[in-house]
Amino acid sequence: REAVREALLDIQEGADMIMVKPALTYLDVVARVHDATDLPLAAYCVSGEYAMVRHAAAAGAFDECRAVLETLRGVRRAGADLVITYHALAAAGWLRSEGA
């Protein structure tokens, strides 16, 4: 509720866009803010989330491409209009190669 309240205050102050960060651990907040406002909603996957995925993939826990693309799709499903991520260049290449 606090995040929605803050978003609505930002709108009253003239915001052109709302941002939620960190994205992955706040997907519920992304969804609530999306439902509460018509402004574009950005979700920022912070450096710690990037590092977590990179290290886990390097340790063989999962395929980095598949994990990143599923994560980004999840952020979009939660309601983000824009996703800001350190994986942007790699994700663009992966999406291009899979024809998405």
pLDDT in tens, 6-30: 999 999 999 999 999 999 999 999 9
Q: What is the pLDDT of residues 30-58, one digit of tens each?
A: 999 999 999 999 999 999 999 999 999 99
Residues whose CB is less than 8 angstroms from the CB of residue 84 and which lie 6 or more positions away in sequence, other chains included:
19, 42, 43, 44, 45
The band of 99, judged by pLDDT with boundaries at 50, 70 and 90, is confident
